[in-house]
Each structure stands twice: as structure tokens, then as C-alpha cells.
């Protein structure tokens, strides 16, 4: 049983894959702690609260314990989250730490990678992150929490939302001195920011190998005070909507009511015809059409480049307790790569997504014209992601939205036309059906991937 590439840092155990299922092995060094975690009541409390993925012990001997955790349909990374997702993940981490202290345990790490989302709810996945708490000990994961959660949230609030992508550059968390150099003076006028970021950063410079709290003796009440201080600060940070290119896309779309309804009926017809088990919506904005798919598909992923759009979709899912939809940030032209140790610690987005059906509405002209990507390369993208079905909308050059793109650049896109579209896609897909949108020149296609 070999560890997955992302699971090698913790001597307590590792995760591995068997028959396309994920398992976790617990090593003897962690047996006593794991038993305490189970028998103390903390495990069940966290599971009952929806904070932690439940598991089943499937093997136990002197050499190892094997647990089978609840299986998630998709693994995301912090640099693919919107502001509110990272905020909710931070608050969950703090709530778990407070609950752990009630059972005389503590989190030994506070990595954002320990959080995933299911039905737009954050959930903790690392069962081996807990250890026994001893009176007087500081929170060893304090520094990691500030680097993984607090620093990127503050940078997103006070500088620019795209700074959430820094987590991709700093896989172990944004160094606090980097955060200090980027944050404006007004951020440090808040006492909690001054303490948790600036003073914490200065303490690290004095002794870079130790946390701000390492040399301090903390009573249990003092430790809870620290956690509650962080919780109060994170809770106060709100998403400040920035003006983005696609945040209000549907407000300025060129669809009238009749055309929009016709487009919806076409999409529903194609989905009901194909009957896919799951769906990935690429460039789906705030999820208007993804939610149509939820009527018959219970596992949908929505991706878009726009932070406002994904923020809106995430909040909608939470508000209505939607089942089966999760929304994430993705730039298709510069997608999440394989990074970390040996470039395998975190998988690329293409190693993690794949679905029976891909939905690509009003997307292809942005890829081809805004980013000068040839049609043949676009085909490769959809071939890589979909296992079987593709619903794609072709938007011709005479469309007002394409004309807006061409107003700011020279038209060098001779191959961007209907015939070229059909020719290139026919190499990898069978065109099962196509329908023109009512009173528009746009055409929506249902395609089926050729079997190799």
C-alpha cells in the first residue's frame, strides 16, 4: 500500500487508493492517540456536527489500522476557492479546535488543504490531525493557520481578490512577512491584525523556526481566548465585491426572455436525452444553467474564472441548502498545475476533474478570440475532461458579444467560423444533435466522444 503523492509528510499514517477508493492507514506510532480520539467522544461529536468526514475501521492489527472514510466526489485546493469558501474553511478549523479542547485534544496542524467542500459545506478530512492537549501548551498550529487562512483572507480584502491565488505559489502558506509587505497601513490599525500578522511576523524573524506562541505558557482559557480572537477577526472579514468582467454577465447578456427560455429548454432536452451521471460546467458563471442540470443530475461541478460569479453561486448553494453542486475558481487558459514536492504533491485540475458530461455555454469564443487559442486545441480541452458527452454552444462572429471582443483587437481569427468548428470537433466527437437558439444565430450542440 503506497501513499498517494500528497500523503508523505505525516509519520502517523497516510492515504492510499485501492480499487478507485480512498483509504487511510494509521501507523503504530499513532495508535494510542487514535484510540483516545475515538473513545473520548470527540470523533463522534465532530461527525454529528458535520465537521469531519466519518469513517469505518476495516482492518486492525499490530502493524496498522485501515479506515475507509466517506468518499468525496471531488478534491479541490484553496487556490480554487472564492473568498467565502476560504472564510468558512477558516471558521470551521477554529470551531474544530475549540471543540477539540473540550475533549482535551488539539489540532496539530491547520492546513487549508485539510478542508474540502461537500454540497457547498466545508468539511475536515484529516483524521490524523488531532493530538492530546496538555495544559500550558500553545497552539502549535497557530502559525500555520495564520499563513493558510488569515493572511490570504486579509490580502483578498485589502488588496485584490486574485491574491487568493497566492496559495498556489506558497503551498505551505503565505509567509507572514510577505503579507506584511503587501497589506496597507489601514489593515494594521485593527489591533487583531496588528497582533496576529505584524507582531507574529516580527516574532518569526527573531526565531524563524518557532511560532509566535511557542515559548509562551498558555492556560486553557488563554488558548481559547486566542482561538476566539482569531474567530472574531475572521468572522468580521466580508467579501467586497470588485468590478469584474463577468460578475454581472446575465445582467448584460444579449438574450431576450424568449431566447433565454428556449436555450434552457434545449439544454434540458439534451441532458435528459444523454442521462449523464455527473456534469462539469466550464465557464458557468454564477450557475444559472448548472442548476438546470440539478433537476436530473445529483453531482455537478461549476467552474468559472470570475470571483464574483463563484461567490454568488456558493452563497446561493448555502442559502438554499443545494444538494449536489459545488462551485470553484478556474482559469481554463492557466489551469491549476501539478505542484509541490516533485510536482506531484498537489494534482493538476485535469487529474482531478472528469465527468460523463461537460457543459460549455457561451465559452468557446472567449477561449478562441480573447486568448488566441486555435479551435483544434479547444477540442483537446473538452476531449480531456469529458468521458462521454459534451453540450457546447457555438457563438458566431456576427453575435454582439463576439463583436465586443473584436472591438478591442484585430480580427486575425479567420478559422473561427461554423465550418471550422464542425470540422475540428468532428475529429473527436460525434454530433448527435444541434438546435439554433430562438431568434439568434447561436447554435447548441449535443456531442458524444468517439470511443478510442
Place of cell 470511443: 451
Q: 107-116, 201-210, 331-340, 373-382: which range is least confident on average?
A: 201-210
pLDDT in tens, 21-64: 999 999 999 999 999 999 999 999 999 999 999 999 999 999 99
Q: Computed from CA positions of residues 314, 318, 322, 324, in that sequence, does the dihedral angle turn out positive or negative?
A: positive
Residue 254's pLDDT is 66
Length, in residues, of the chain: 452
Given a cut of 70, whether residue 213 has pLDDT beyond it is no
Average pLDDT over residues 217-225: 90
CA atoms lying within 13 Å on the CB side of residue 400: 5
What is Dmax (Cα atoms) for the chain?
72
pLDDT in tens, 135-182: 999 999 999 999 999 999 999 999 999 999 999 999 999 999 999 999
Percent of the chain with pLDDT over 90: 85
- Asked if residues 108 and 137 have their Cβ atoms less than 8 Å apart, the reply is no
Residue 239's pLDDT is 84
Given a cut of 90, whether residue 332 has pLDDT beyond it is yes
Q: How many CB atoms lie within 10 A of CB 342?
A: 8
In 3D space, the residue among 318, 317, 322, 424 whose CA is nearest the CA of residue 368 turns out to be: 424
Residue 161, C-alpha cell as written in the block: 481578490
Average pLDDT over residues 363-382: 94
Residue 390's pLDDT is 98
Residue 410's pLDDT is 87
Distance, CA of 237 to CA of 388 (rounded, Å):
42
Q: What order do you get walking across the sheet with 386-394 strand by strand? A: 325-329, 300-304, 279-282, 355-360, 386-394, 443-449, 429-436
Place of cell 511557542: 214
Distance, CA of 133 to CA of 430 (rounded, Å):
60
pLDDT band at 247; cut points 50, 70, 90: low
Residue 3's pLDDT is 87
Name all domains of the chain by residue range, CATH numbers in brackets: 13-69 (no CATH), 78-236 (1.10.510), 249-449 (3.40.50.150)
Place of cell 487549508: 112
Given a cut of 80, whether residue 244 has pLDDT beyond it is no
Residue 391's pLDDT is 98
pLDDT band at 243; cut points 50, 70, 90: low
Residue 216's pLDDT is 60
The separation between CA 103 and the C-alpha centre of its own chain, rounded to angstroms, equals 30
Average pLDDT over residues 357-371: 94
Which 3 state secondary structure label does DSSP give 50? coil
In 3D space, the residue among 350, 308, 358 whose CA is nearest the CA of residue 329 turns out to be: 308
Percent of the chain with pLDDT over 70: 95
Residue 251's pLDDT is 52
Residue 80's pLDDT is 98
Residue 39's pLDDT is 97
Average pLDDT over residues 76-97: 98
Please enumerate in sequence order all residues whose Cβ is within 8 A of that of 117, keeping only pairs 6 or more positions apart, or say none.
76, 81, 85, 123, 326
Average pLDDT across the chain, whole number = 93
Distance, CA of 449 to CA of 427 (rounded, Å):
9
Residue 81, C-alpha cell as written in the block: 476557492
Distance, CA of 290 to CA of 286 (rounded, Å):
9
pLDDT in tens, 100-136: 999 999 999 999 999 999 999 999 999 999 999 999 9
Residue 257's pLDDT is 85
Average pLDDT over residues 234-240: 91
pLDDT in tens, 182-211: 999 999 999 999 999 999 999 888 875 554
Amino acid at each position: 500500500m503506497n501513499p498517494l503523492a500528497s500523503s508523505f509528510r505525516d509519520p502517523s499514517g497516510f492515504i492510499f487508493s485501492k480499487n478507485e477508493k480512498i483509504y487511510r492507514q494509521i501507523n503504530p506510532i499513532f495508535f494510542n492517540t487514535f484510540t483516545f480520539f475515538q473513545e473520548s467522544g470527540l470523533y463522534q461529536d465532530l461527525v454529528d456536527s458535520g465537521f469531519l468526514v466519518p469513517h469505518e475501521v476495516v482492518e486492525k492489527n499490530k502493524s496498522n489500522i485501515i479506515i475507509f472514510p466517506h468518499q468525496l466526489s471531488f478534491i479541490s485546493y484553496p487556490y480554487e476557492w472564492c473568498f467565502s469558501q476560504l472564510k468558512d474553511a477558516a471558521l470551521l478549523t477554529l470551531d474544530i479546535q475549540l471543540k477539540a479542547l473540550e475533549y482535551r485534544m488539539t489540532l496539530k496542524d491547520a492546513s487549508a488543504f485539510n478542508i474540502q467542500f461537500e454540497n457547498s459545506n466545508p468539511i475536515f478530512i484529516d483524521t490524523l490531525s488531532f493530538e492530546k492537549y496538555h495544559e500550558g501548551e500553545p497552539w502549535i498550529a497557530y502559525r500555520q493557520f495564520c499563513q493558510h487562512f488569515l493572511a490570504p483572507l486579509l490580502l483578498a480584502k485589502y488588496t485584490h481578490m486574485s491574491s487568493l491565488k497566492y496559495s498556489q505559489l506558497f503551498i505551505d502558506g503565505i509567509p507572514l512577512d510577505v503579507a506584511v509587505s503587501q497589506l496597507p497601513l489601514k489593515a494594521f490599525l485593527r489591533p487583531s491584525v496588528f497582533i496576529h500578522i505584524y507582531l507574529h511576523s516580527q516574532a518569526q524573524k527573531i526565531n524563524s523556526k518557532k511560532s509566535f506562541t511557542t515559548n509562551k505558557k498558555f492556560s486553557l482559557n488563554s488558548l481559547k481566548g486566542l482561538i476566539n480572537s482569531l474567530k472574531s477577526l475572521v468572522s468580521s472579514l466580508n467579501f467586497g465585491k470588485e468590478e469584474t468582467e463577468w460578475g454581472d454577465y446575465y445582467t448584460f447578456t444579449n438574450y431576450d426572455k424568449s431566447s433565454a427560455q428556449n436555450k434552457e429548454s434545449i439544454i434540458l432536452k439534451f441532458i435528459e436525452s444523454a442521462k449523464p451521471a455527473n456534469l462539469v460546467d466550464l465557464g458557468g458563471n454564477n450557475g444559472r444553467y448548472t442548476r438546470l442540470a440539478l433537476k436530473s443530475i445529483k453531482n455537478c461541478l461549476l467552474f468559472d474564472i470570475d470571483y464574483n460569479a463563484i461567490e454568488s453561486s456558493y452563497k446561493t448553494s448555502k442559502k438554499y441548502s443545494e444538494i449536489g453542486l459545488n462551485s470553484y475558481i478556474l482559469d481554463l487558459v492557466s489551469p491549476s498545475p501539478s505542484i509541490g514536492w516533485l510536482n506531484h504533491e498537489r494534482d493538476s485540475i485535469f487529474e482531478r476533474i472528469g465527468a460523463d458530461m461537460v457543459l460549455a455555454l457561451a465559452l468557446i469564443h472567449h477561449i478562441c478570440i480573447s486568448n488566441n487559442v486555435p479551435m483544434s486545441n479547444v477540442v483537446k480541452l473538452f476531449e480531456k475532461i469529458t468521458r462521454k458527452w459534451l453540450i457546447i454552444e457555438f457563438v458566431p462572429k456576427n453575435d454582439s458579444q463576439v463583436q465586443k471582443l473584436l472591438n478591442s483587437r484585430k480580427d486575425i481569427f479567420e478559422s473561427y467560423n461554423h465550418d471550422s468548428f464542425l470540422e475540428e470537433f468532428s475529429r473527436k466527437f460525434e454530433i448527435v444533435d444541434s438546435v439554433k437558439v430562438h431568434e439568434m444565430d447561436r447554435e447548441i450542440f449535443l456531442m458524444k466522444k468517439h470511443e478510442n
